[in-house]
C-alpha cells in the first residue's frame, strides 16, 4: 500500500533529508507540502496545515519538520483530523507535550512516530548488539560542530524551546540511549549561554548509568573545520568507537564498518512498518536527558554570538 504524505515545514532539513528519503521509498508518495514561504516544483503546496487537511482527505500521513516550539499545535491538528504523524527530532519543546501527543494519537487510533534519525546510522545497531553482553567501564561523547554551517540564520534555535547546542547534541544522546544496555541519568551539567542568546552554545554533562559506570558528554557549537561526532565506550572486553555520527564503527582500533549516510531512509522504512502494524513509537529518553541537563545545569554566561 502506497501512502500519500505531506511535509509540513520546508526548511533545510526537509529539503536535504526528508524529501529525498520520501521520494526513494516505495511505501510513500510525496503528495503535498505546507509552507508559507517555500514550495517544491510539481508538488501541491498549501500555506497552512488546516488548508491542506481540508483539501486533501486522501493524504493520510504528515511529516512535521517545523521548529519544535510550534510542532505540538500542528501535531494536534493532524491527529484530530485522523492523520498519522511523523515528528522530526527533537519531537517537541517539552517532554510533557509529547507525552500528551502520544495519548492523543492513541485515542484517535493513529500512528505517532517520534523520530531519532541518528539511531539509523549504519554503525549504531551493530554497536548496540556488541555492547549487549559487555561489562562497561565508561563512555564518552564528543559532539562538536559549527552552528553557522548547519543552522545559518535560524534564530529559533536560540529561543526557549530551540535547545541551542542540544539540537545536535540530542542526536548523540539518542544513540547513547539506544546502544547502552542500561539507562543513564544526569548528575551534573554546565551550560555556556551567549550573553545575547537564550539557549546554550556549549554544554558539558556528567551521567551515571544504572549499572554504575560514568558517562560524559562534551557538546560545542563553535568548532570550525572538520566536525566531530564521536562516542567511545570502554568495556572490559575492548573499546568501541562510533565516529561520523555513527556511520563508522571501530573496536579496539579495527574498523568494522564505514557506511554512507542512510539515516532518513531508515526513518521512513520504520514509519512504514509502524503504519502497517498500527503502532506508535514515542521514546522520549533523549529529550528527558536534555530536560534534566537544563534542570541541573550550572549556567555560565559567555561572550555574544553573532551568526
CB 180 within 8 Å of CB 105: no
Distances (CA, A) of 58 to 3, 54, 181: 9, 10, 42
Q: Is-catalytic flag, 89?
A: yes
Number of DSSP helices (H) and strands (E) in the chain, helices first = 10, 15
CB 287 within 8 Å of CB 174: no
Best CA proximity match to 265, nearest among 64, 30, 24? 24
CA 178 to chain centre: 13
β-bridge pairing 254-258 and 297-302? unpaired
Distances (CA, A) of 165 to 53, 158, 219, 288: 34, 9, 7, 15
Strand order in the sheet with 248-251: 254-258, 248-251, 238-243, 228-235, 136-144, 214-220, 202-209, 184-194, 297-302
Residue 68 to residue 90: CA distance in whole angstroms: 7
Residue 186 to residue 171: CA distance in whole angstroms: 16
Of 12, 89, 129, 134, which is the active-site residue?
89
Catalytic center residues: 89
Amino acid at each position: 500500500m502506497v501512502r500519500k504524505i505531506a511535509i509540513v515545514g520546508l526548511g533545510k532539513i526537509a529539503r536535504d533529508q526528508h524529501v529525498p528519503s520520501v521520494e526513494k521509498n516505495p511505501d510513500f508518495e510525496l503528495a503535498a507540502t505546507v509552507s508559507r514561504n517555500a514550495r517544491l516544483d510539481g508538488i501541491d503546496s498549501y500555506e497552512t496545515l488546516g488548508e491542506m487537511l481540508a483539501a486533501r482527505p486522501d493524504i493520510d500521513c504528515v511529516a512535521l519538520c517545523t521548529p519544535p516550539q510550534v510542532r505540538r499545535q500542528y501535531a494536534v491538528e493532524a491527529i484530530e483530523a485522523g492523520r498519522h504523524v511523523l515528528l522530526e527530532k527533537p519531537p517537541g519543546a517539552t517532554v510533557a507535550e509529547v507525552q500528551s501527543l502520544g495519548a492523543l494519537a492513541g485515542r484517535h487510533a493513529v500512528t505517532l512516530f517520534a523520530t531519532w534519525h541518528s539511531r539509523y546510522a549504519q554503525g549504531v545497531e551493530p554497536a548496540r548488539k556488541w555492547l549487549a553482553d559487555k561489562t562497561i567501564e565508561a563512555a564518552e561523547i564528543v559532539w562538536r560542530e559549527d552552528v553557522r554551517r548547519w543552522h545559518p540564520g535560524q534564530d529559533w534555535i536560540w529561543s526557549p524551546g530551540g535547545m541551542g547546542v542540544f539540537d545536535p547534541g540530542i542526536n548523540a544522546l539518542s544513540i547513547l540511549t539506544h546502544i547502552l544496555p542500561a539507562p543513564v541519568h544526569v548528575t551534573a551539567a554546565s551550560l555556556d549561554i551567549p550573553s545575547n542568546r537564550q539557549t546554550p552554545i556549549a554544554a558539558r554533562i556528567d551521567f551515571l548509568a544504572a549499572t554504575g559506570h560514568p558517562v560524559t558528554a562534551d557538546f560545542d557549537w563553535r568548532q570550525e573545520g572538520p566536525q566531530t561526532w564521536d562516542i567511545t565506550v570502554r568495556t572490559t572486553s575492548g573499546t568501541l568507537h562510533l565516529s561520523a555520527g555513527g556511520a563508522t564503527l571501530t573496536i579496539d582500533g579495527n574498523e568494522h564498518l564505514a557506511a554512507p549516510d542512510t539515516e532518513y531512509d531508515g526513518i521512513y522504512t520504520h514509519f512504514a512498518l509502524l503504519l502497517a502494524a498500527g503502532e506508535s513509537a514515542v521514546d522520549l529518553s533523549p529529550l528527558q536527558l536534555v530536560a534534566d541537563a537544563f534542570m541541573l545545569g550550572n549556567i555560565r554566561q559567555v561572550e555574544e554570538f553573532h551568526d
